[in-house]
């Protein structure tokens, strides 16, 4: 089941689903994609909207709205996170599901693309309310999900605890513990060592590969990071340990700047205690939008969608952009950045460390044998480096941007599976 993209009052540039379609259209033209396969890939395979009644702590009832979209499952079970946020909408979830399809194919793990979301503000919910919401949402998805059908994971405002509730609810309905039903769980409940750090470390490794590709120094580069969570904060930590200067870091409240380099470990300790950059003694507070246009070698947008747009792209001064977030750069901004000669590593490659280790977790759960963190990181790095070389090689061979190079790699792999499987009728 699928539906046309909804109207977005901010215009097409800020509608993530239409942005995805625009890049798919360009890719289809480059690779000569069969029109029938294009029609399959341009719309979700299945999507579900559910109402989620929740008994609140004051004994009142509230009804939330949730979504789960499976974009494509030709290569394997749908894979994708679940986000809890007030601004979740169906077009966003559709786009995120499609990006997961391409992302899994780019790093060549046997998953398709899915995504889920619930419209809520988790900061305004108690732990009990959050648990009841999660369990009711999970029960609404039972016909769609499972280790061989659709494997959810954490995303924005969801974490190991939410995944534990999700897994437990699914298992109770199946009358057997099913640890492979979700990834991103606590290690003691079948989670993989290294999963929490995976996306951020993956971003750092892609920065390393990008600097080498662009013949830039492997230490001492100035790096600005938008976001300080499990992607931005962890990427900043690893890059700082590699010898780079993290000159800026932000969260939802403020952005900090120090041209000599911020003390990332102290910042992360402050965040762990206060859950905000506010009050940190070190660095100058700057406007969040100014972080994106700082003079630096590497910019890492690791917050949310639509941060680099046609309006601020002309002012970007970084030599390299490594997209830690999903969809941080609009299609309209791409052309401007390419004309400026900026090397962009797209989200479907740059932040694929997370889904790679999610795949490892799923594998470990299914075989009942768990790897060391060193094994996890070594295997992840091998996969990401291979994917990076395939993407830049494709981009060079076709004389296109790395973003379109990544799309070509991903879309061609999915199209191959669709072609070889055929159409069941």
DSSP per residue, 160-183: HHHHHHHHHHHHHHHTS--GGG-S
Distance CA 238, CA 201 (A): 7
Best CA proximity match to 184, nearest among 135, 151, 140: 151
Helix axes 16-31, 402-421, angle to 10 degrees: 80
How far the first Cα of the chain sits from its last, in Å, is 16
Establish whether 398 is a catalytic residue: no
Between 160-174 and 127-140, two packed helices, what is the crossing angle to 10 degrees?
Answer: 50
Name 289's Cβ contacts closer than 8 Å, sequence gap at least 6: 312
Q: Do residues 109 and 354 make contact, with C-beta atoms less than 8 angstroms apart?
A: no
- Of 133, 131, 132, nearest to 120 by C-alpha is 133
Taking each helix axis from N to C terminus, what angle separates 195-213 and 232-241, rounded to the nearest 10 degrees? 60
Catalytic-labelled residue, pool 26, 79, 103, 115:
115
Active site residues: 115
């Amino acid at each position: 089941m699928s539906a046309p993209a909804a109207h977005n009052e901010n215009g097409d540039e800020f509608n993530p689903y239409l942005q995805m379609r625009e890049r798919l259209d360009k890719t289809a033209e480059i690779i000569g994609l069969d029109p029938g396969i294009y029609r399959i890939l341009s719309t979700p395979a299945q999507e579900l909207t559910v109402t989620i009644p929740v008994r609140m702590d004051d004994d009142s009832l509230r009804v939330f709205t949730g979504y789960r979209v499976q974009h494509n499952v030709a290569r394997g079970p749908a894979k994708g996170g679940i986000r809890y946020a007030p601004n979740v909408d169906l077009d966003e979830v559709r786009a995120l599901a499609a990006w997961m399809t391409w992302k899994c194919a780019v790093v060549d793990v046997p998953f398709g693309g899915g995504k889920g979301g619930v419209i809520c503000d988790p900061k305004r919910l108690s732990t009990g309310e959050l648990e009841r919401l999660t369990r009711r949402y999970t029960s609404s998805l039972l016909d769609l999900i499972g280790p061989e059908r659709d494997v959810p994971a954490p995303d924005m405002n969801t974490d190991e605890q939410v995944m534990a509730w999700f897994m437990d609810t699914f298992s109770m309905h199946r009358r057997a513990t099913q640890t492979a039903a979700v990834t991103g769980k606590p290690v003691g409940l079948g989670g993989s060592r290294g999963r929490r750090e995976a996306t951020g470390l993956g971003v750092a490794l892609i920065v390393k590969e990008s600097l080498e590709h662009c013949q830039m120094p492997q230490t001492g580069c100035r790096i600005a990071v938008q976001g300080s969570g499990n992607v931005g904060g962890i990427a900043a930590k690893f890059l700082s340990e590699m010898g780079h200067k993290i000159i800026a870091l932000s969260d939802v409240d403020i952005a900090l700047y120090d041209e000599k380099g911020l003390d990332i470990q102290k910042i992360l300790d402050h965040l762990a205690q206060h859950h905000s950059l506010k009050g940190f003694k070190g660095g100058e507070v700057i406007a969040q939008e100014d972080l994106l246009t700082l003079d630096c070698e590497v910019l890492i947008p690791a917050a949310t969608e639509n941060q680099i747009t046609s309006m601020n792209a002309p002012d970007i001064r970084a030599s390299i952009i490594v997209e830690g977030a999903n969809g941080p750069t609009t299609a309209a901004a791409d052309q401007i950045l390419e004309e400026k000669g900026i090397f962009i590593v797209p989200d479907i490659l740059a932040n694929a460390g997370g889904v790679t280790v999610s795949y490892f977790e799923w594998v470990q759960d299914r075989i009942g044998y768990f790897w060391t963190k060193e094994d996890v990181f070594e295997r992840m790095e091998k996969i990401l480096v291979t994917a990076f070389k395939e993407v830049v090689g494709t981009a060079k061979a076709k004389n296109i941007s790395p973003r379109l190079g990544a799309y070509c790699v991903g879309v061609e792999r999915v199209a191959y599976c669709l072609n070889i499987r055929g159409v069941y009728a």
